[in-house]
Amino acid sequence: MPDHLPVVVVGAGIAGLTLSLCLARAGVRVTVIDRAQELREVGAGLQLSPNASAILFHLGLGSALDATGIRPEAIAIRDGASGRLILRLPLGEAMVERYGAPYIVIHRADLQGTLLAAVEQEPRVSLHLGVDIDSLQEDEAGVTVAGREAGQPVEFRGGVLVGADGVRSMVREKVMGGRPAVYTGRTAWRATFKAEGFVAQSFRHNETGLWLGRHAHLVHYAIDAGREINLVAAIDDVWNDDGWDVPGDPEQIRAAFARWPEPVRKLIAMPESWRKWALCEAPRDTPWTRGRAVLIGDAVHGMPPFVAQGAAMAIEDARVLSGVLASGTGGDVEERLSGFAEGRKARTDKVAAAARRNGRIYHLGGAAAKARNLGMRALGAERLIAGMDWIYGWRPPEG
């Protein structure tokens, strides 16, 4: 980054912290701003495919990720009507052999905590929490973020403004002129429970489960080094709450899966509490850049979670943008940001389209679901995995 001013990052989630760490390691100063008084990642588990884990391992975070995450041996895909196994896709060592990096499932808080601990060791990063932003300005001279921190007025100047503030991004709306997030017509229910003493025929400690059914699907896997089970249920719904993360009535989610096979009903009954999210996307016409401002992660391409690539795309964005900002000894910053956006948009659009397609396929019922199951079995595990090569095999450009 040739400018003498730091990069100002709004948002200290996975996208913002990964970018900050990458920039600092490349010699670039960073100011990170977040409205939260303390960083506490909401949600539950997430999946880190090899395209994302390779970046994090390159940053030296592999041991920390393995300490709290799990490398599942397989994904078992089952039919939500009959309970029968459709296909088992190998993960574990098969992922490392094929892509050179592992497939990891991990609690969001553990990933964020790992990134935060690494960022806090970087003298080039200045982290400011509890900041209420009043204004965001971008011009030819740089960017300015003004607000209040601990009740006192503050102002942050930078050479580039990065909006890494999630699918309901303030930067997208106030700086880019982008529109609010768009509801997808689906709700995600998330919960965790202690793994100790839990036994179900369909559940293996080191296997991810994916159940496909009419208007819904369920994912479950172990997190917290195997001490907890993470559940994510996605349901076709009309509920859309501005709070986006609210308590869910356990009876409501149990009723939604009341006719599913017994192993699913047992899983759904285990948690004492649930949280639910209205699943939203960033509008597809969202501008990625404006002058010296740029969006990354869910702020610009928030997508349905049906290829488990939301966090991965944010991590990829962070790695690529850090290379763009740290490269060269001159040149036009706006031009480089536009080049970053052009290069990333094609890929994230394709991944988002795959997620939407999976959402339709996962939620089929009746004869269409039977045809889906037969088609997956006919393809077989090897060809289905090969169909993910373009996602999992991606690596950052050199330089």
pLDDT greater at residue 237 or residue 54 = 54
The pLDDT tens digits for 333-384 are: 999 999 999 999 999 999 999 999 999 999 999 999 999 999 999 999 999 9
Residue 139: per-residue pLDDT: 80
Contacts with 267 (C-beta within 8 Å, 6 or more apart), sequence order: 200, 202, 203, 218, 220, 229, 231
**List 99, 103, 221, 392, catalytic entry:** 221
Phi, psi (5° rounding) for residue 98?
-80, -40
Q: Which of 49-53, 139-143, 206-210, 247-251 has the lowest mean pLDDT?
A: 139-143
Q: Of 146-155, 227-236, 311-320, which one has max mean pLDDT?
A: 311-320
Q: Which of 71-80, 132-141, 345-354 has the lowest mean pLDDT?
A: 132-141
Beta bridge partner(s), residue 89: 75
Q: Which domains does the chain have, with CATH numbers?
A: 7-71+101-181+282-360 (3.50.50.60)
Region 34-39 average pLDDT: 84
Instruction: Measure the CA–CA gap between 164 and 295, rounded to whole angstroms.
Output: 6
Task: Specify whether 392 is catalytic.
Answer: no
Instruction: Measure the CA–CA gap between 213 and 175, rounded to whole angstroms.
Output: 41
Instruction: Please calculate the CA angle 272-210-220 and round it to the nearest 5 degrees.
Output: 30
Phi, psi (5° rounding) for residue 277?
-125, 140
Residue 224: per-residue pLDDT: 86
pLDDT greater at residue 264 or residue 141 = 264
Structure tokens at 130: 């509890």
